[in-house]
C-alpha cells in the first residue's frame, strides 16, 4: 500500500515547469531510482535556517529560508529535502529559488529509493555547482494538504472549531544545521494547547528557538498546537475545468465542475434548520461558523452569461456583480456544508476571445492563447484541490499545439473532442495537476497552435455540404414515382 502511495506522490509532485517545446505523451515523473540504503552525502551544512509556517488557511503553507554552505572539497549542485512518508503524497507546489537573486525555480524532483522508508526526499539541482566553502541562500516554499485535524472531531452546530497541527520544532533536514528557528502564524491568538518546546508567544505568532546548538541531520523534536479556526476547510477532491475556443463566434467559454467537501469538524447532533435560520438572520451580526455558507468567484472583467447548477438543476441563490473594475460571481449552496458534508456543482461563463488570443503574422497561421490555469473561488480560509484537470478545446483543424505553465503537472494528453457538425474533431489539450491550492489562481497557461486559413472554412463548408445533401436527398425523393397505378 505504501509503495502505491509513494508512486502516486512521485507523479503528483514533479515540480519542473513544462516548456512549450513539446507535449510529453506520458505522465511526468522522476526517473531517479536510488539504492535502498541511500543517504544524502554530508556535503552541505545549514548555517542558518528560518522556517515560517502559516496556519491562516485550511492547509499548511511553509517557507524555509536557509543559508547553505558547501563543506566538501569539490563543487556540489544537489541538495536534498526530506519529508515523512505519511505526508509526501500531500505536498504540493514545492519550489526552490535563490532568495537573493529572484528568478525561475530550480529543477526539483522526487527521488525513489525505498518505498517503505519512513523518510522520502526531494532533490534540487542548483543551476551552477556551489564551490567549496561558498554559501547560497535558498528559499523553499510548499504547502501540505489534509493534515490539519479537528479536535474535538465532533462539535455542536454553533460551537467553535479547533484544529490540531503536529510538527517538529526542529526543521527536518538532511544536513547538519548550526542555527535555526521556527515561526507559526495563526488566525487568532486563541491557542489553548501547545505541547512540546517552549514557544515565545506574541499575538498570533509562536516562535520556537532560536536553537544555536548544532542539530544533526534527521533530528526531530515532536510538538503540536491546537488553535481556533472557526471557518470551513474547503477541499475539492476533483476540479474539471474546460476552456473552449470558438474563432467564428469570437468566444471563450469556460466551465468548471467541482466535487467539494468540508474537512472540518463533524456535527455532534443532527442538523437543526431552525437554529441555522436564527444564526443566518443574526440581526446585523453573522457569527462565525465552520460550515460553508457561500463561495465568491472573481471573474475577468467583461465576463458574460454566468450560470450555476448542481445535481438537481439550476441554483437561483447566486448573484453576479459586474462593473468596469471587477466581476464577481457569488454562489450560495442549497444547504450549508458542514464538516464531512459534500457538495457538487458546476459554473460557467463566456468571455470575449480577443482579450485572451493573439494572432501571429506567420504563414502557418500561428495563435497564442493566454488564460489562467486556475480560477475558481477566492476565500479567506483558502481552497485546496486534490486533483485538477484542465481541458483546452481548440478549434477544429488546430495543429502543432504547444504550451507552457508554471503549475506542476502529472499528466499531459492530446485528444480529439467531437461536437455538433465536426468532421475529424477538435484538438484538445488535457493537463492534470495534483495537490493544488488557491494560491495558483491566475497563474498563466500559454497555449500556442497553428490554425491555417483553410481550416477556418472547414465548418462552413461542412454545414453547406450537409444542407446541400439534405436538399438533394429531398429533391431525389420527390422525383420518385411511388404510385401503385399503371402509368399512361
More confident residue, 34 or 29: 34
- Among 182, 177, 170, smallest CA distance to 214 is for 177
Q: Which of 159-173, 309-323, 464-478 has the highest mean pLDDT?
A: 159-173
197 against 485, higher pLDDT: 197
pLDDT, mean over the chain: 86
Output the CA–CA distances (angstroms, integers) from residue 27 to 8, 24, 30, in the order listed: 11, 7, 10
Cell readout for 318 is: 447566486
- Per-residue confidence at 25, pLDDT binned at 50, 70, 90? very low
| Contact indicator for 41, 175 with CB cutoff of 8 Å | no
State the pLDDT at residue 487. 57
The mean per-residue pLDDT over the stretch 394-422 comes to 85
pLDDT at position 119 is 87
Phi/psi at 153 (5° precision): -70, -30
Report yes or no: 225 and 184 within 8 Å, Cβ to Cβ. yes
pLDDT above 70 covers a percentage of the chain that reads 88
Helices (H), 199-305: 273-281
- Terminal-to-terminal C-alpha distance of the chain: 86
pLDDT band at 161 (very low <50, low <70, confident <90, very high): very high
Strands 200-202 and 234-246: unpaired
Structural contact between residues 197 and 223, judged by C-beta atoms closer than 8 angstroms: yes
Confidence of residue 285 (pLDDT cuts 50, 70, 90): low
Task: Give the mean model confidence (pLDDT) for residues 303-320.
Answer: 89
Give the per-residue pLDDT at 425.
75
Give 357 or 418, the one with higher predicted confidence: 357
Q: What is the pLDDT of residues 347-365, one digit of tens each?
A: 999 999 999 999 888 777 7
Residue that wins the pLDDT comparison between 6 and 293: 293
Name the burial class of residue 185, with classes exposed (0-12), middle (13-18) and buried (19+) by CB atoms within 10 angstroms of its CB. middle
Confidence band of 421 (pLDDT split at 50, 70, 90): low
Predicted TM-score of the model (pTM): 0.85
Mean local confidence (pLDDT), 47-76: 96
- Give the span between the Cα atoms of 353 and 304, in whole angstroms: 12
- Residue 87, pLDDT > 70, answer yes
Q: Which three cell numbers stand for residue 368?
A: 497564442
Tell me what the mean pLDDT of segment 324-331 comes to.
Answer: 92
Distance CA 372, CA 417 (A): 21
- CA distance readout (Å), 86 to 9, 11, 12, 60: 11, 16, 15, 15
Give pLDDT, residue 111. 85
Predicted confidence at residue 118, as pLDDT, reads 85
* Residue 370, C-alpha cell as written in the block: 493566454
Cell numbers at 54, concatenated: 502559516
Amino acid at each position: 500500500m505504501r509503495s502505491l502511495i509513494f508512486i502516486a506522490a512521485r507523479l503528483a509532485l514533479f515540480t519542473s515547469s513544462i516548456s512549450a517545446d513539446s507535449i510529453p505523451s506520458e505522465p511526468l515523473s522522476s526517473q531517479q531510482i536510488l539504492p535502498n540504503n541511500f543517504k544524502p552525502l554530508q556535503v552541505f551544512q545549514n548555517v542558518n535556517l528560518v522556517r515560517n509556517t502559516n496556519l491562516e488557511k485550511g492547509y499548511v503553507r511553509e517557507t524555509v529560508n536557509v543559508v547553505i554552505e558547501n563543506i566538501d572539497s569539490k563543487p556540489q549542485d544537489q541538495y536534498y529535502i526530506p519529508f515523512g512518508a505519511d505526508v509526501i503524497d500531500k505536498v504540493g507546489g514545492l519550489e526552490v529559488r535563490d532568495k537573493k537573486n529572484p528568478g525561475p525555480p530550480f529543477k526539483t524532483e522526487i527521488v525513489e529509493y525505498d518505498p517503505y522508508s519512513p523518510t522520502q526526499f526531494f532533490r534540487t539541482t542548483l543551476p551552477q555547482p556551489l564551490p567549496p566553502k561558498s554559501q547560497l541562500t535558498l528559499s523553499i516554499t510548499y504547502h501540505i494538504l489534509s493534515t490539519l485535524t479537528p479536535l474535538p472531531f465532533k462539535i455542536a452546530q454553533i460551537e467553535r472549531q479547533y484544529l490540531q497541527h503536529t510538527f517538529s520544532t526542529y526543521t527536518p533536514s538532511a544536513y547538519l544545521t548550526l542555527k535555526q528557528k521556527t515561526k507559526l502564524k495563526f488566525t487568532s491568538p486563541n491557542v489553548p494547547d501547545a505541547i512540546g518546546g517552549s514557544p515565545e508567544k506574541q499575538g498570533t505568532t509562536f516562535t520556537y528557538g532560536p536553537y544555536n546548538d548544532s542539530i544533526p541531520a534527521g533530528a526531530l523534536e515532536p510538538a503540536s498546537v491546537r488553535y481556533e479556526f472557526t471557518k470551513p476547510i474547503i477541499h475539492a477532491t476533483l476540479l474539471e475545468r474546460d476552456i473552449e475556443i470558438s474563432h467564428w463566434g469570437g468566444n471563450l467559454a469556460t466551465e468548471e465542475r467541482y466535487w467539494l467537501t468540508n474537512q472540518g469538524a463533524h456535527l455532534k447532533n443532527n442538523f437543526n434548520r431552525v437554529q441555522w435560520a436564527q444564526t443566518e438572520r443574526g440581526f446585523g451580526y453573522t457569527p462565525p461558523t465552520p460550515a460553508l455558507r457561500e463561495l465568491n468567484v472573481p471573474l475577468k472583467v467583461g465576463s458574460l452569461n454566468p450560470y450555476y447548477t448542481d445535481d438537481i438543476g439550476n441554483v437561483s441563490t447566486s448573484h453576479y456583480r459586474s462593473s468596469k473594475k471587477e466581476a464577481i460571481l457569488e454562489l450560495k449552496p442549497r444547504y450549508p456544508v458542514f464538516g464531512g458534508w459534500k457538495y457538487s456543482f458546476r459554473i460557467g461563463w463566456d468571455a470575449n476571445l480577443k482579450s485572451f488570443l493573439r494572432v501571429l503574422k506567420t504563414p502557418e497561421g500561428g495563435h497564442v492563447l493566454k488564460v489562467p490555469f486556475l480560477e475558481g473561488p477566492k476565500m479567506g480560509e483558502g481552497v485546496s484541490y486534490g486533483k485538477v484537470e484542465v481541458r483546452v478545446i481548440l478549434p477544429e483543424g488546430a495543429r502543432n499545439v504547444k504550451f507552457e505553465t508554471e503549475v506542476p503537472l502529472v499528466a499531459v494528453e492530446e485528444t480529439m473532442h467531437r461536437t455538433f457538425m465536426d468532421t475529424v474533431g477538435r484538438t484538445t489539450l488535457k493537463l492534470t495537476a495534483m495537490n493544488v491550492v488557491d494560491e495558483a489562481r491566475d497563474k498563466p497557461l500559454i497555449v500556442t497552435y497553428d490554425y491555417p486559413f483553410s481550416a477556418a472554412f472547414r465548418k462552413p463548408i461542412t454545414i453547406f455540404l450537409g444542407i446541400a445533401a439534405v436538399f438533394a436527398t429531398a429533391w431525389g425523393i420527390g422525383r420518385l414515382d411511388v404510385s401503385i397505378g399503371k402509368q399512361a
